[in-house]
Structures are given as C-alpha cells and as structure tokens.
Amino acid sequence: MAQERLLALQKYGQSVWIDFISRDALASGELARMVEAGVLGLTSNPSIFEKAISTGVTYDVDITDLARRGKSVPQIYEALALADIRAAAALLRPVYDRTDALDGYVSLEVSPHLAHDTAGTIAEARRLWAALDRPNILIKVPGTPEGIPAIAELIRSGINVNVTLLFALDAYEAAANAYLDGLTARAEAGGEVRNVASVASFFVSRVDTAVDKRLAGRPAGRSLRGRAAVANARLAYARFQEIFAGPCWEALAARGARVQRPLWASTSTKDPAYPDTLYVDELIGPHTVNTMPPQTLAAFSDHGRLGETITQGVVEAEALMGQLAALGIDMDDVTDELLRAGVKAFSDAFDQLLAGLTAKVSKAHKK
C-alpha cells in the first residue's frame, strides 16, 4: 500500500482510520500492514461484524466451543466481538501511546436496538467499557435525541464516545454540546478531562444518495447532483470551529481537554459516476478523522488529491442549501429519513448476525 498520501494527510491535521475489522485480517497481518502504512484507528459497526462473523468458517471453532459451554447466541456474539476489538486495540496501542492519546482508537457500538433508549444505552456502554478495559476504546452511541443525554453522561463518567449516525447539522451541534456538557460536569466534580476522548461521526455519502434521488427528474437541479454531501460536511465543520472556540471551551482546554474531532463516515462513493475519492479529497483539514472502508483507502492511497479543502467553499455550501430549498428539498426531512434508515440498517444487520449465529450454534449442537 502506498504510504505517501496517507502520511501526507497527517500534515493537514487529518487522521485516517479504517472502517473494517475481521479476525482474518487481524490474523493474517493485513490490519497490521494498514497501520504500518499510516492508518491510525479503526471503526466497526453491526454491518461489519455481520459480514465478518456470519460468512466463512474463521469463527466456527470458537462458536462451537462457546455453544457447548452453554452460552446464548447474544453472549457468543459479544464474546467474538470483544475478542476482535481487544486484539485491534492491542495492535493500535502503540499508535495511542505515540500520539499521546490523539489516535490509536478502536470503536465498538452499543446494540442498535438501544438507539431510542437513553438508560439502556448508558448501561450497555458502561458494561462494554468495563469488559474491554482498554484506554484506547471508543463506545459508539447513535446521535439520536435519546442518545444525546447518554453521551453527556458517559463523558462525565470518563468513558470515550464515538457519536455515530450524525447527518443533520443540528444533530451534530447537539452531539458536540453534549460532549462539552459532559466535560464541564466532570471538571466541576474534580475529574480529569485530559484523558477523555470523543469523535463525532458525520455521515457523508448517504446524503448525496438521498438528495440525488429527490433531484431526479428535475432539470433545474441537475447541476446540484453530487454536491449536497460535501456541502453538508463543510457546514458541520464550520460549526465545529465555532463551538470549540471562545471562553467556555478555552476554560476546558486549559485543563487539558481535547476537541471532539469531526469524523467523516460513510466515505465510499455510492454513485459510480462520482470520483471514488470524492469524500476524502474534499474534506481534508485540521482536527478531523476520515474513516474509510478498505476500497476507499486503497483508492486514495493510489490517486487521492491532497490539500486543505474542508474550509473551502463554505459560502457556496450555504448557497447550495438555499438552492435545494428553493427546489422544495427539505434537508431536515432528508437527514431525518437518513437517521431512521441508518438505525434500521444497523438493527437489521445485528438481527441478521444473530440469525446466522443461531444457525451455526444449531449445527454445533448436532455435531
């Protein structure tokens, strides 16, 4: 893998994480080679684990062993997932130490079925955090209305959080403020804030997919196709710059607090008509993370464009949103729909994973 472009991104203040995990990749050294090439962190989600565990035979020995020990299907899933997350955290621990806890993180998501359950999210996040017992773990919590108070409470408790499924600017702002609220409460109670980390995962490509669908059949909107996602992300970054500035933030920063970095998620291009590095090239800038699936990572390593781009065209991004509104496209409606679809997609993947495990457990009991 070409290293130059990945390493160059760090000079612009952006960290590359990989949106992928599998036991095969851990065992074969594939993930280790990615880290050597400049990958600084890893994210997972129910869809990724569903693909990793339900296909192939890599996990079958452990599944059989756990089933024969009387473990339930959910317990088997959690044992497999926690083992992979611990292994990835060990692999990335040198990065965590070398970057003084800026990078080197591995993310694990709470059950997507808790997306609208504040208390349940808090309880599961605390349980997973304690079970993993690693400083370079981020617990993923969806940025739903019910997830926002959970984020503040977890940060107050000193638990690292990756806020996921952010599509709307207001939801991003709520997630950032929840992080600040949690840090403030922790500081007021005399807690250490320097060792608490968070990223805000702002989803990108799905915005273009949804907006382009609504633009279809509208000649006046042809020139707007493939532009909403980058514009939306640039406006989110502008809000990041506003939120993490001023007296409130400076007081926390003086105590060692770190900014909650925007993390660009869903950065693979869904429309083949668009450049395959579109959602990397256009979102480069300080204090950001781009978590890429392997194919996007390979594409950017091969032919991505370098340069600080996230702060470019903010005025044009605002104007684009106005043009979309003039065509009757309500971005609040778009992002609400995307959030509902995202929660459902992760819930469905989680259910499919458990169904696949159930079938494998049944076979194990018959042997």
pLDDT digits (tens, 9 = 90+) for 53-80: 887 789 999 999 999 999 999 999 999 9
Collect the ranges in the chain with pLDDT lower than 50.
1
Domains and their CATH numbers in the chain: 4-205+229-310+335-359 (3.20.20.70)
Q: What is the pLDDT of residue 316?
A: 98
How far is it, in rounded angstroms, from Cα 355 to Cα 202?
30
Q: What is the pLDDT of residue 240?
A: 98
How far is it, in rounded angstroms, from Cα 283 to Cα 201?
13
Q: What is the pLDDT of residue 366?
A: 73
Q: Are 285 and 262 in contact (CB under 8 A)?
A: no
344: number of Cβ within 10 Å: 12
Q: What is the pLDDT of residue 367?
A: 65
Burial of 240 from C-beta contacts in 10 A (0-12 / 13-18 / 19+): buried
Q: Are 342 and 167 in contact (CB under 8 A)?
A: yes
Task: Give per-residue pLDDT as tens, 156-214.
Answer: 999 999 999 999 999 999 999 999 999 999 999 999 999 999 999 999 999 999 999 99
**Hey, what are 149's tokens?**
């108070």
Residue with tokens 């080679």: 33
Catalytic positions are 140
Three-state DSSP at 286 gives: coil
Q: What is the pLDDT of residue 55?
A: 79
Comparing CA positions, the residue from 161, 117, 166, 157 lying closest to residue 140 is 161
Q: In Å, what is the CA distance from 120 to each residue of 90, 115, 123, 322?
A: 28, 9, 5, 39
Q: What is the pLDDT of residue 1?
A: 44
**Hey, what are 159's tokens?**
């638990």
